[in-house]
Homo-oligomer: A and B are copies of this chain.
Amino acid sequence: MYVLIVYDVEVARVTKVHKLLKRHLHWVQNSVFEGELTESQIETVKAGLKRLLSEPDSVLIYSARDARWLTRESLGRERGAIGNLL
């Protein structure tokens, strides 16, 4: 699955969430990570996130079965260093 994760968490947990996601995905913007994960890896990431998150944190996980179904375009400065999806 091609996965895109966007988080909005309290400052106290930003570093922990960032580190967890960095172990599995590519960083593309301030609080956005993306990459190819198996279903099992997605479950690992979700379990890790659930352990870390607390109110009023919010994490959105978008997934597409195939990266080709998703196009990414960037305006302004490129933060992360991964190539285009297509």
Q: Is the CB of B74 within 8 A of A70?
A: no
Find the B residue at minimum CB distance from A9: B76
Interface flags for A48-86 (1: CB within 8 Å of B; 0: not) read 011001011111111111100111111111110000000
A57–B79 alpha-carbon span in the complex (Å)? 9
Q: Which residues of chain B have C-beta atoms less than 8 A from A77's C-beta?
A: 55-58
Contacts of A34-59 to chain B: CB distance below 8 A: 46, 49-50, 53, 55-59
A58 in contact with B29 given A6-B6, A8-B79 (CB within 8 Å) = yes
A72 and B60 contact, Cβ closer than 8 Å, known pairs A6-B6, A29-B8: yes
A62 touches B58 (CB 8 A): no
